Amino acid sequence: MRNGAQRQSSSGRSRANTSSHDLQAVVAGLRGEVRFGAPLRDYTSFRIGGPADVLVIPVDVDDLSRLIKQAHAAKVPVFAIGGTNLLVRDQGIRGVVVSLSRLKAIKDESDGVIYAEGGVVMPTLMRHAITRALSGLEWAAGIPGTVAGCVVMNAGTRLGEMKDAVKAVRVVDPLGRVIDCPANAIQFSYRRALLPRGIVVGVWLQLKPAQREKIERVIKEYLRYRKNTQPLTLPNAGCVFKNPEHNTAGRLIEAAGLKGARVGDAQVSEKHANFVVNLGQASAGDVIALIKKVGRTVEQQTGITLELELKIVGQP
Ligand SMILES: Cc1cc2nc3c(=O)[nH]c(=O)nc-3n(C[C@H](O)[C@H](O)[C@H](O)COP(=O)(O)OP(=O)(O)OC[C@H]3O[C@@H](n4cnc5c(N)ncnc54)[C@H](O)[C@@H]3O)c2cc1C
């Protein structure tokens, strides 16, 4: 479950086609929500995406383990989403899509350590840290993803990144077993983390005591910066491309004259050239065509090949 490839699955035994009989077996006896044919545009910040064969929202880690075991037995792929760095293709995602939105407990441990379940979203986690006067997550101000998604992506900003705070990660592996993995066994790099295969269900974060006012000041300033520079009022999925060395993708795209470029209702933001926004009815096809055009134009003009940060997932 490390990146967005459609056939990448926690079961590790996925098949090309899944019958409704298989899907019934995969979701049998689960206590969480099960939605067949759920439109994934309702679960992504881009508001784009076709249906999941079945979307499951487990109630707890045991429920998730059961799902994973049953999916493994039926060789049905499982794909976890938070939904804020994703472009789901118009044909949707085959197999099981898992949302951890009900795994949202936060526990205080000793010496500045917090355990957050995988479905906790960063704004909630940050508010929790502020009330305990714990510093170490200010860099994440304005990142809407789940704590699990932020570990998988090693999310970050110019103020810091997830790897700076992670102490250990809890994963449910493709056989449904719970595994705890210390941070020093995880290889983090720019918007990437090499984790054990499976679904991240919890993260231990090591934070430091600090003055609450100081923490709040940093967060407020960074949120103001985002509001001034990013298109936060239109559906989007954050930065589309990674920054190349010694440059930023936004600067290159803007210099190529692409701000405001459109395919259908997908538009290169007028405010921040490394964001694509959905003006209303954009399809994944529109976004993909626009991204290709941007990549091609920048490469022709500068010789630099931009690499995607956005995960494009689902049935081509
Ligand atoms: C307005 C806006 C601003 C943003 N700003 C930033 C920013 O400054 N910096 C930054 O780094 N990102 C930013 N993002 C992007 C996004 O929030 C981050 O990449 C975040 O880490 C994605 O988390 P997610 O839970 O939404 O995961 P998703 O986007 O759903 O998934 C990302 C990848 O993680 C995998 N994944 C998700 N959950 C799990 C899980 N539980 N177990 C295993 N794999 C999982 C998915 O399968 C996928 O491969 C921004 C997005 C928006 C919309």
Q: What is the pLDDT of residues 31-58, one digit of tens each?
A: 999 999 999 999 999 999 999 999 999 9
8 A C-beta contact, residue 138 and residue 222: yes
Residues 6+ away with beta carbon under 8 Å from 64:
58, 98, 100, 103, 172, 199, 201
Cα 47 to middle of ligand 1, angstroms:
15
Distance between CA atoms of 102 and 94, rounded to whole angstroms? 22
Domain 20-99 belongs to what architecture?
A: 2-Layer Sandwich (3.30)
**pLDDT band for position 2 (cuts 50, 70, 90):** very low
153 CB within 6 A, ligand 1 = yes
Look at residue 7 in the predicted model and tell me its pLDDT.
Answer: 38
CATH code at 231-313: 3.90.78.10
119 CB within 6 A, ligand 1 = no
pLDDT digits (tens, 9 = 90+) for 168-181: 999 999 999 999 99
- Side chain identity at 169, as an amino acid letter? V
pLDDT(276) > 90: yes
In the chain, the percentage of residues whose pLDDT exceeds 70 is 95
pLDDT digits (tens, 9 = 90+) for 108-121: 999 999 999 999 99
Tell the residue nearest (CA) to atom 51 of ligand 1: 238
Using DSSP, how many helices (H) and how many strands (E) does the chain show? Answer: 7, 21
User: Within the chain, which residue ranges are assigned CATH 3.30.465.10?
Assistant: 106-214
85 CB within 6 A, ligand 1 = yes
250 CB within 6 A, ligand 1 = no
Cα 84 to middle of ligand 1, angstroms:
5
**pLDDT band for position 15 (cuts 50, 70, 90):** low
Average pLDDT, the chain: 94
Cα 294 to middle of ligand 1, angstroms:
22
User: Within the chain, which residue ranges are assigned CATH 3.90.78.10?
Assistant: 231-313
At residue 225, the 3 state secondary structure works out as helix
Cα 312 to middle of ligand 1, angstroms:
12
Distance between CA atoms of 3 and 71, rounded to whole angstroms? 19
64 CB within 6 A, ligand 1 = no
What is the topology classification, in CATH, of domain 106-214? 3.30.465
Distance between CA atoms of 275 and 269, rounded to whole angstroms? 6
8 A C-beta contact, residue 268 and residue 276: yes
243 CB within 6 A, ligand 1 = no
What does residue 41 show for φ and ψ, rounded to 5 degrees?
A: -60, -25
pLDDT digits (tens, 9 = 90+) for 188-237: 999 999 999 999 999 999 999 999 999 999 999 999 999 999 999 999 99
3 CB within 6 A, ligand 1 = yes
**pLDDT band for position 12 (cuts 50, 70, 90):** very low
Residues 6+ away with beta carbon under 8 Å from 208:
112, 134, 135, 136
Cα 81 to middle of ligand 1, angstroms:
8
Tell the residue nearest (CA) to atom 2 of ligand 1: 238
